[in-house]
Amino acid sequence: MPDPVDVQKQIDEAVAAEVAKRSALEERIAKMEEAEAVAKVEGFCKSNHIAPELAAPLRAIQKAAPAEDFAKVQAEIARLSTSLHKALNELGARVGGVSKGATPAMDRLQKAADEIRKSRPELTAEQAMEKAINENPALYNEVR
């Protein structure tokens, strides 16, 4: 007859092994879910012309806030992004596009956007112009 202590030891080892397997599986699932959530936030940023470096802070907000509150934040960001792009398009239409010679102020604003793009090539032309406007509000007001 097997020694009860040995049997208990084998059971304990088997249980410990299964717990370790389950823990590793849960960890892998959590990493996959986090990667999926990060990808969704990055996609949201890209589709709303938000700088990619803001994806991590947005994800932190998403993790900390109730889902309903984060959905409101996303909706407001999307609304502001749409509004800004509409204003940029209207500005471009009013000054005849962002071509050279439209106005001296517009030329300076375009030059600022070009410099931003040189230092941050991952930005689109629109994102660079948005950043130039945000960094030079007086110049933007001069163009308007």
Give residue-wise pLDDT tens across range 52-67.
888 999 999 999 999 9
Q: Find the domain containing 27 and state its range.
A: 1-70
Residue 79: inside a domain:
no
Residue 46: inside a domain:
yes
Whether 37 has a pLDDT exceeding 60, the answer reads yes
Task: Give the total number of structural domains in the chain.
Answer: 1
**Residue environment code for 72-106, b if the CB has 16+ CB neighbours within 10 A, otherwise e:** eebeebeeebeebeeebeebbeebeebeeebeebb
Maximum CA extent, the chain: 98
Residue 49: inside a domain:
yes
Neighbours of 132 (CB within 10 A): 21
Residue 58: inside a domain:
yes
Residue 55: inside a domain:
yes
Confidence of residue 99 (pLDDT cuts 50, 70, 90): very low
Average confidence (pLDDT) over 99-110:
70
pLDDT in tens, 78-97: 888 888 877 877 776 666 54
Cα–Cα distance, 89 to 137 (Å, whole number) = 17
Whether 48 has a pLDDT exceeding 60, the answer reads yes
Residue 132: inside a domain:
no
Residue 57: inside a domain:
yes
Residues 6 or more apart whose CB falls under 8 angstroms from that of 143 comprise 91, 95, 103, 105, 106, 109
Residue 93: inside a domain:
no
pLDDT of the residue at 98: 47
